[in-house]
Amino acid sequence: MVKKILIPMFVAMFVFSGLFASFAPLVNPYYGGPGDGYAFSESPLAFSESPLGIYYGGSGDGYAFSESPLAFSEPPLEIYYGGLGDGYASLAISGDTPLPVELASFTVENTITAAIKLLWVTESEVENQGFIVERRVAGPQSTVSLWAEIAHYITHQELRGQGNATYRTEYRFTDKTVEPGKSYDYRLADVSYKGEKRYHTLMVYGIEVSALPAEFALMPAYPNPFNPVTTISFNIPPEQNTVALLIYDIKGQLLETLVSGELTPGFHTVVWNASMYSSGMYFVCLKHEQTSMIQKLMLLK
């Protein structure tokens, strides 16, 4: 999306010579006309941390502009100006650069003795070489360790990205270097074709390796109500690991089978994306032999 602002050329030269000389975060250069009938607002051209808002206003002289900000979500921010051959300059601002990787979720799929299994889902990827997984030991502020890389897409094939993709992709990584009784935090970074590393804000906190669950259980889905993705968690005890996780509509019709078969005993999570369904009530059912556990899910769009 590009918006253009037309101003007299000599005013543009005056304004932009000072503007680009001092372009930096948190700098507020003021601008104004020379009193020749083409004067415009004395409001500041405000630069701040992302998102960046540029505010401008009219002076009632026929050259009034909108007072709404132009908001930009991610760098790079491109500002162009140049003559149009009619005595006016053009200012064009472009800020629609897409995110390299759209991360939909990042969760713990399973915790078993001496291992933590991570799951993350992307909805789309742009020039993604792959992921880096980092970990730190959690605890009181004084005992939290520094982030350390534990897996890289170069050495772990399962972390290699899709390059350019507009479809949903699931990634898994099992951390087998954890110690029982300790709590861990995890974060992700993706690496572009240019070698640029970008950390994601979705993180996993306070995951502890503990004993195997003693009973079969379906945990509350989160979020619930949801739109359109929710995470369903359940426990599988030893010797009860043949399970099915099913989604039904309000009429009792089976819509999806999320899990079917044998699973490793421990704590599991499954992400359900209901984007293809309409708003309403649904049911998730966890089955093991003659045992069934059912939970209501509310999809709000």
pLDDT tens for residues 58-71? 334 443 333 444 44
**pTM given for the model:** 0.45
Query: What confidence score (pLDDT) does residue 99 get?
Result: 60
pLDDT tens for residues 169-188? 999 999 988 887 788 999 99
- Indicate whether 194 and 107 sit together in one domain: yes
Domain housing 45 = 2-94
Domain end among 76, 94, 112: 94
Q: Considering its fold, how many domains does the chain have in total?
A: 3
Q: Using only C-alpha atoms, what is the Rg of the chain?
A: 27
Distances (CA, A) of 24 to 5, 18, 28, 56: 21, 12, 9, 18
Distances (CA, A) of 295 to 50, 92, 235, 249, 286: 40, 52, 14, 12, 9
* CATH label of the domain that carries residue 275: 2.60.40.1930
Distance CA 286, CA 8 (A): 69
Q: What is the mean pLDDT of residues 36-42?
A: 40
Query: What confidence score (pLDDT) does residue 24 get?
Result: 38
Domain end among 165, 181, 208: 208
- Indicate whether 159 and 221 sit together in one domain: no
Contact (Cβ atoms closer than 8 angstroms) between residue 237 and residue 212: yes
Query: What confidence score (pLDDT) does residue 85 get?
Result: 39
- Indicate whether 148 and 236 sit together in one domain: no
Domain end among 65, 94, 123: 94
Q: Per mean pLDDT, which range of 65-69, 116-120, 211-215, 254-258 is the poorest? A: 65-69
pLDDT at residue 51 is higher than 70: no
